[in-house]
């Protein structure tokens, strides 16, 4: 018997896409700027670290997906993965952008590699089961399209909130970092990571 899922449930489900948007900003907008231009990690080392993290991500995605498909619990087969990953994912977001300045190349490379691998792996535990849950909630094609549209909306909302607050409130001019050099202020990035942590937890739950 197929039971119609309420619109309220679907809204809460798609709200979780906001955490996906936050993660995309973390990796797609400021990470290389932070490690290369703010902390001073050589671009080649940063690229190697992120490439290795992508390899781990490619391996973990099908493994976690298969595990989730076969998992059984009183909370279902998807929810335990999603809820277990939310807080660790938020913490990884914070630690990704909270690195003391004046460190060696080796330290920065290892730190980026470890945190990037952890972040992507934990994100897999969050997003792979969560994405698989959508089609299980809605059997019909038209409502799945609506669900997908709301997911894109909330994902872009996460991107917009992160980007606006970063540019408006964190990357502000100071005496040492004025004009176009404001983005080089290392004090702005831990705040950015903390904001990402809170938003991931809020959107995720």
Q: Is 42 helix (H, G, I), strand (E, B) or coil?
A: coil
Q: What is the DSSP letter of 74?
A: T
Kindly list the averaged pLDDT for each block of 10 residues, start to end, along the chain of length 205.
69 90 92 95 96 96 94 90 96 94 91 96 95 85 85 92 92 87 92 95 90
Architecture of domain 7-204: Up-down Bundle (1.20)
Question: Is the CA virtual torsion 17, 20, 22, 28 positive or negative?
Answer: negative
- List strand residue ranges (DSSP E) for the chain, in order: none
Domains in the chain: boundaries: 7-204
**What residues contact 101, with CB distance under 8 A and at least 6 apart?**
38, 39, 186
**What residues contact 135, with CB distance under 8 A and at least 6 apart?**
144
> CB 145: neighbour CB atoms within 10 A?
11
Alpha-carbon distance 199 to 17, whole Å? Answer: 11
Confidence at residue 46, expressed as pLDDT on a 0 to 100 scale = 96
Longest CA–CA separation in the chain, Å:
66
Confidence at residue 3, expressed as pLDDT on a 0 to 100 scale = 54
CA nearest neighbour of 129 among 74, 89, 70: 70
Alpha-carbon distance 23 to 30, whole Å? Answer: 11
């Amino acid at each position: 018997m197929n039971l119609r899922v309420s619109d309220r449930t679907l809204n809460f489900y798609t709200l979780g896409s906001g955490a996906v948007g936050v993660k995309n900003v973390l990796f797609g907008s400021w990470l290389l700027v932070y490690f290369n231009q703010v902390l001073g990690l050589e671009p080649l080392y940063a690229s190697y670290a992120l490439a290795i993290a992508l390899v781990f991500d490619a391996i973990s995605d099908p493994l976690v997906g298969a595990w989730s498909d076969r998992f059984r619990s009183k909370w279902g087969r998807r929810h335990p993965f999603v809820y277990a990953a939310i807080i660790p994912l938020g913490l990884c977001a914070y630690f990704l952008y909270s690195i003391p300045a004046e460190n060696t190349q080796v330290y920065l490379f290892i730190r980026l590699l470890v945190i990037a691998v952890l972040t992507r792996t934990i994100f897999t535990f969050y997003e792979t089961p969560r994405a698989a849950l959508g089609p299980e909630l809605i059997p019909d094609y038209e409502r799945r399209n609506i669900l997908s549209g709301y997911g894109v909306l909330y994902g872009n909302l996460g991107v917009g909130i992160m980007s606006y607050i970063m540019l408006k409130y964190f990357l502000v001019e100071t005496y040492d970092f004025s004009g176009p050099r404001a983005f080089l202020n290392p004090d702005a990035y831990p705040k950015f990571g903390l904001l990402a942590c809170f938003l991931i937890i809020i959107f995720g739950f």
